[in-house]
Structure 1
Amino acid sequence: MLQFELLATEGLARRGRLTLNHGVVQTPIFMPVGTYGTVKGVLPRSLHDMNAQIILGNTFHLWMRPGLDVMRHFGGLHGFENWHKPILTDSGGFQVWSLGEMRKISEEGVKFASPVNGDKLFLTPEISMQIQTVLNSDIVMQFDECTPYETKGHLTTEAEARHSMELSRRWMKRCMAEFERLQNPNALFGIVQGGMFEHLRQESLEALVELDLPGYAVGGVSVGEPKEDMLRIMAHTPHRLPAHKPRYLMGVGTPEDLVEGVSCGVDMFDCVMPTRNARNGHLFTRFGDLKIRNARHKSDERPIDETCRCYTCAGDGQGHGGFSRAYLHHLERCGEMLAPMLATIHNLHYYLQLMQEVRDALDVGQFAAFRARFAADRARGV
């Protein structure tokens, strides 16, 4: 089940409400990435505290471990990880792309060696749908080929991008047929491909729209291309998708990318950046980015961001939490596992709070003013 209601617009920016089998999601929304059935470095309780509405799981990795028998035993991913809000699962296409020379793509599917134990495996559109049905994710992504920015040392040509896009288009129809055969009660999204070529993006988009899917995603960005190319595709594609369907920009990005994406008509985002960067001491704040390992933080009594109300910055209101930059710097320098945990709480809270502020601005027709204020604050520096 999927229902999408458009509540407000300002230019191309949209405010919506997405109803799924496991709950309601207010959009625009950022979705924390939980590849192996957990968002790295953060307790599920913390995700609830920071009002995470929907998280991701990954078809490819969960198929590897713990496997479908375990997932069936628990009735799907929600029961296994004890998360009872919505979940979106990636189809495995991006992970297959990341295997590089270790995989062989054909019309039928992708052959590759398991990165876990070396077993010979074969992933097809049908198998991806079968795995995601077992996972019982609220949003199922089509199995696609993620068109690379570079192919064997050269920029992907238009012919190569077309071949990849058309393969994904054929795979989409197979995904639909298998999804219907399985009587999956959730929602299947198609993925617009076409590389860095706007006319190929348009062809892909039009073919998917003809299928009248519950929602649509823009894939094949954040795959190594220069930022200006990513922004060019982001400006071209999302707003051309149906206005009454949710639009998802896959794998993006920085706080600036999210706000720019909203201005281009995007409703849903995911990215590993807030969690991955946290594990490397890179923190996002309202006033720019902060690298906590730098020596200048050694004796700094301030929190990461004095305007932030997360547990790391402000505590829980009951005398727990609320830590100085000096303490976080010390934890990082000592290699304490608490350092990335506290950093992850802060970064995810910042991303989710940013999306809440975007929604609030759209609710009152003040997104343009918010966008200008956001840019000025981020440029100010910490």
Structure 2
Amino acid sequence: MRTLVATIIATVLLAGCSNDSNPSEPVVIPESDAAQDVVLQEDAASEEAEAAVLPDAQPESGVYPCGTQPPNPDSRKLPLDVTNAAPDLELRTGSERIELYARKSSSLTHEKLVDIANRSCEALTFDLKEFAVSATEPALAPAVRIIVLDDPTYDTATQAAGSYGVSYPEDGAYGDAVVVPESGLSSLVDFDDTLAHELTHIVHGRMAPNNYYITWFLIEGTATLAGTQYGMLKHNKPTDFVKGYLVGATGADATLTFDRYGLEDKTQNMGEVGHDQALSAFFMEYLRVKHLRPDAGAGFADVQARMLQAQMQVSDGSDEPTAFAAHMDGLSEPDAQKAFTQWLDATVGDSAARFGGTLFE
């Protein structure tokens, strides 16, 4: 999700697992000049009906309402890669906060499209709450566009075959968007996780648009952790592929990730991407519940919100180490990394010590 060097940020399947960043066969996430980091039966009457409006979230649900006004097309253009591959995209349903696009030729029913829009809204409002972003934040005023494509068109548009979703940043006249393939709907557990992950990139891209000097382990760590948090909240199921990398991880694995997922993404294949996303997410989870703080117990419960504030400070011109310390009560980024690597070495083979109290317990 770089603003100077734009790169697709994708959620893909991993070998032997399911979701949030990698496939059963390795698939390399490509770079793109335009992109960054049960179908229900429907009768003719409903096919001709106007786009349904998403309901407000219930007050007791703990999420922000999506709005009740009919969707209006955003003035910004959709990502160029997508419209080149799918020139017949149409706004199909939505709300004040979500716009759902699909091809005119899409076989998905109106009810299914509304369900996708609702799921997108729920995931987005979870992210807003987790990252402590106000429901009235001006940067989040433009509706977030979700684009659903048949798999061949998705593969052509994103060059990320096998992935569950990609996010595009705003790029001049082209607005941001999350693009998902129809095949991702085969597992709604993974689909919801993917939405929370990719929508994190949208939220962060709007709040901290100048992210060229933000490390990949921070960008992907917060997004992958958000996917896991939402998966646990909604389905009691964390992101599948992550724990596989964590069971035997040592400090050397963390050191490798901090180097390979720095300001430049140096990963070469899906195995490396999965490894680094998993270790980045676990670094954030370690900070959330495990890191020992002087006179303050263990962990920063609001680490996700703190990390967004740090990214915003970097976007405004600060360097990441300074911003990190400013929002982590003086804890320096190098010291946090050192503590994490030492903790990993100390907990090898001790699952209770490593995973107790975490989302992966």
Give TM class, smaller chain. Answer: under 0.3
With normalisation by structure 2, the TM-score equals 0.25
Answer 1 or 2: which has greater strand percent: 1
From the CA coordinates, give the structure whose radius of gyration is larger.
1
